[in-house]
A and B are shown apart, each in its own frame.
Chain A
Amino acid sequence: MSYAENPSAARPSGGSSPGMPSETVRTIVTLAIFVHLFIAVVVAVGAMRAPSELFIRLNLKFVTELQYPQYLLLSNFAYPLTYNRDVDYDGSAEIVLDWDAAYESQPERIPAEDRIVLFDADAIKLPIRRQRYLTLIRRMTDVAASQPPSPREIDMPKSVSKALLSDMSAMPEGVHRFRLLRIPTPAASYTDERQTPVLPPAYQGNIAIDARGNLEFVKADRTSLVAPPTPSRTPAASQIPPIGGEPGDPAVRPRSPLPLDLPGRSDGNH
């Protein structure tokens, strides 16, 4: 058998078969697939640990400048699920009404009725809702621990505090304290006691509300926080190498490790 009768017609170009689109359409679609998957690979690699300068620049180009919808591309994706860094811990956020400086060293003295919690894990039955609050806390912890300090480190705690206090019948006048807390995962070796080391807050801010209900938020001094006792198999919080950028910005250049006197290194792809 041969194609001798009518070579050009009998031998379709590129393995074309019935039902396939025309060659022009295939070419256009092929180009689109190439471009899309290329961007997808660049963004996925860029969201991983310590990408190269080339990937950082390509990410900037595609995600930031071209405004390619990053949520279609698996950026901001916490691929590893956990490294057991402090940012991987579950956490909580609360506002302590009428903050007393003595609470700093004796948090157990904080009256339960003066605590306004971001979410009550026992009360929220729907796991997906609980995960959203935990994600929000991780994001705030991420931003709070970033070096150099992010200009956004006040914005989110401030707006969260404002919304939480607005839920009350009236904005409570006085000085209150916003606290981001981390709950270290117990190591298997001491899980029987279920006693976990207590970490200092990842972030604290003072909320001042005047008689007219105006709210002012000022970050509490980080250096007043004490380094945490951590289990020996837990990565040193202050020595964890950089993973990537701030949440929402996969293209930020990796940061240098934090100085040792800082309370906790939290960073990464949450």
Chain B
Amino acid sequence: MATISLAEPLPLSERLLRPWNAFWFAPRDAATLSVMRIAVGAVALYWEASYTLDLMRFFGPDGFFPLVDVQLARGSTFPRSYFELASDRTVIWAMHGAGLVVLALFTAGLFTRITSVAALFVVLSYIHRAPAVASQAEPILAMLLLYLCLGPCGARYSIDRILQRRRAAAKPGASVASNEPGPSWTATVSTRLIQVHLAMAYAAMALAKLNDGFPLVDGEGTYHAWWMGEAAWWLAARPYSPLLDVTGGLTNNVLLVNAWTHAIVLFEAGFAIFIWRPAFRRCLLWVAVPMWLSLAVITGLAPFCLLMLVGNLAFVAPEAMQRRFGASAG
């Protein structure tokens, strides 16, 4: 009988498959996904609620975007939004209300398997009905919701979990340990997809910034807003966009503007590469906080910046989440 010693090198297929399977399929706890569900749901709820004052302008029958124009622009009449099925103002208001309820339930973690899919459907309905007002936040929001649908994002810190515990407690002889949600490979797939997609977004952001350069008006040379370290100023000095006017502190501080601009690009490029190295991960995740908050201030893109921070949570180990928020909480 042939024997296979452990010292014997593994076949190539095994060597390729092992890390792949470990990366994508090794089961993990759903604590990280559950915290992300709450954060993504809260941002989505705010994002959708903010449409309330402009609902009829953006989605109404006599609003800015007639349905036929939207369908023409995307080249398809197949409905991609439930707002496309409504022409009555009352129905549109009812749909808006229902959307808010769905997102609230998702955030709270009630019927999460259903409400996670419904939440994605709700968000995409708003985006697809009025794509002309969608900017950076929407693709990140949709991406996070899509991947949260795949994993057990309601397994912890949710109403589902509380109900599950109550049901288990009502059963005679049930132990607390047996009632704990176990590790799941779908949590891993979901988390890994968020990580990979987010790293891709960081890389694309850095590349796009380094890829600029336009001829100057006087024809002498080329202007590079990011390479020349001035982009932070151009963002901060716009009259309507910034959340706060910080130009007073930047006006006579060219070096600060340069440093801020270069730091943004450096961080984005570095994140895409080094976030995969455990030694750099904690540092990058902490640096991301002031980076995105300051960008929110000068760009005014608060939901986008918050969602990038929420996306970063995918790199936090479930054990760390459990330590922070409690292993047995809700």
A→B interface (CB under 8 Å): 1-4, 7, 11, 13-21, 26, 29-30, 33, 36-37, 40-41, 44-45, 47-49, 64, 67, 69, 71-85, 88-90, 121, 126-136, 139-140, 152, 155-156, 159-160, 162-163, 166, 183, 185-186, 188, 191-192, 230-236, 239-241, 247-249, 269-270
Instruction: Give chain B's interface residues, CB within 8 Å of chain A.
Output: 1-6, 13-14, 17-22, 24-27, 46-47, 50, 53-54, 57-58, 62-66, 69, 72-76, 78, 80, 124, 127-128, 131-136, 138-140, 142-143, 146, 182-185, 189, 193, 196-197, 200-201, 204-205, 207-209, 211-212, 214-219, 223, 225-226, 230-231, 233-235, 237-241, 243, 247, 250-251, 254, 257, 295, 299-303
Query: In whole angstroms, what is the CA distance A135 to B303 when docked?
Result: 14
Partner of B234, one of A1, A79, A84, A248: A84
Contact of A16 with B21 in the complex, beta carbons under 8 Å: yes
Among B3, B5, B27, which residue has its beta carbon within 8 angstroms of that of A19? B27
* Pairwise interchain contact B62-A67, C-beta atoms closer than 8 A: no
A85 to chain B, nearest CB (A): 7
- A residues less than 8 Å from B138 (CB atoms): 71
Q: Is the CB of B128 within 8 A of A71?
A: yes
Q: Can you pick out 5 interface pairs between chain A and chain B where the beta carbons lie within 8 Å of each other?
A: A15-B17, A15-B21, A19-B185, A49-B211, A128-B46
A88 touches B234 (CB 8 A): yes
Do A156 and B204 contact each other (CB < 8 Å), given the known contacts A15-B14, A75-B139, A81-B231? Answer: no
Whether A186 touches B237, Cβ cut-off 8 Å, given contacts A19-B183, A163-B62, is: yes
Q: Is the CB of B302 within 8 A of A128?
A: yes
* Given A79-B204, A248-B131, 16 more pairs with CB closer than 8 A: A4-B4, A14-B13, A19-B26, A76-B131, A82-B231, A83-B231, A84-B225, A84-B231, A90-B240, A155-B72, A156-B65, A163-B57, A163-B64, A236-B215, A239-B214, A239-B215
Report A-chain residues with C-beta under 8 Å of the C-beta of B238: 89-90, 183, 185
Residues of B within 8 A of A133 (CB): 133
Asked, given contacts A48-B211, A159-B66, A188-B250, whether A82 binds B235 with beta carbons under 8 Å apart, the answer is yes
The chain B residue sitting closest to A189, CB to CB, is: B251
A49 touches B208 (CB 8 A): yes
Q: Is the CB of B216 within 8 A of A236?
A: yes
Q: Is the CB of B25 within 8 A of A159?
A: no
Q: CA A30 – CA B193 in complex, angstroms? A: 12
Q: Pick from A44, A45, A140, A185: contact of B201, CB below 8 A.
A: A44
Minimal beta-carbon separation of B87 from chain A (angstroms): 15
The residue that B50 contacts in the complex, of A73, A88, A126, A156, with Cβ under 8 A, is A126
**Partner of B223 from A3, A69, A155, A235 at Cβ < 8 Å:** A235
- Chain A nearest CB from B244 CB (Å) reads 10
Q: Which residue of B lies closest to A130 (CB)?
A: B240
- The closest CB in chain A to the CB of B13 belongs to A14
CB contact under 8 A between A41 and B200, given known A74-B143, A185-B237, A247-B132: yes
B126 to chain A, nearest CB (A): 10
Q: Which residues of B contact A192 (CB under 8 A)?
A: 251
Which of A45, A75, A136, A240 gathers most chain B CB within 10 Å?
A136
A88 to chain B, nearest CB (A): 7
Is there an interface contact between B209 and A80, defined as CB atoms closer than 8 Å? yes
Q: How far is the CA of A1 from the CA of B241 in the complex (A)?
A: 67
* Chain A hits for B20, CB < 8 A: 14, 30
> What residues of B have a CB within 8 angstroms of the CB of A72 in the complex?
139, 142-143, 146
Tell me which of B17, B54, B72 contacts A132 (CB under 8 A): B54
Can you name the residue of chain A whose Cβ is closest to the Cβ of B140? A74
User: Is B25 touching A21 in the complex (CB atoms < 8 A)?
Assistant: yes
What residues of chain A lie closer than 8 Å to B234, measured between beta carbons? 82, 84, 88, 185
Closest to B298 in A: A81
Contact of A15 with B300 in the complex, beta carbons under 8 Å: no
CB distance A248 to B73 under 8 Å? yes
Q: Which residue among A19, A67, A231, A234 has the maximum number of chain B CB atoms within 10 Å of its CB?
A: A19
Q: In the complex the two chains form, what is the Cα distance from A241 to B215 in whole Å? A: 9
B241 and A3 contacting across the interface, CB-CB below 8 Å? no
Nearest Cβ on chain A to B311's Cβ, whole angstroms:
12
Q: How far is the CA of A183 from the CA of B74 in the complex (A)?
A: 30
User: What are the residues of chain B within 8 A of A64 when measuring CB–CB?
Assistant: 75
Given A21-B185, A188-B230, A159-B204 contact (CB < 8 Å): no
How many Å lie between the Cα of A222 and that of B170 in the bound state?
75
Residues of A within 8 A of B247 (CB): 191
- What distance in Å separates the Cβ of B293 from its nearest Cβ neighbour in chain A? 14
Q: Report Cα–Cα, A47/B247, bound state, in Å.
A: 31
Give bound CA distance, A187 to B84, whole Å.
44
CB pair B64–A71 under 8 Å, yes or no, is no
The residue of chain A having its C-beta at the shortest distance from the C-beta of B238 within the complex is: A90
Closest partner residue, chain B, to A249 (CB atom): B73
Cβ–Cβ < 8 Å partners of B251 in chain A: 188, 191-192
How long is the Cα–Cα vector from A30 to B248 in the complex, in angstroms? Answer: 52
Chain A residues closer than 8 Å to B217, beta-carbon distance: 230-232, 234-236
Q: Contacts A11-B4, A88-B234, A185-B238 given; indicate if A135 touches B250 (C-beta within 8 A).
A: no
> Lowest 7 CB-CB distances: which A-B pairs, in order?
A15-B18, A14-B17, A235-B214, A79-B208, A19-B27, A4-B3, A132-B133
Closest to A4 in B: B3
Report whether A240 and B214 are in contact in the complex, using a CB–CB cutoff of 8 Å. yes
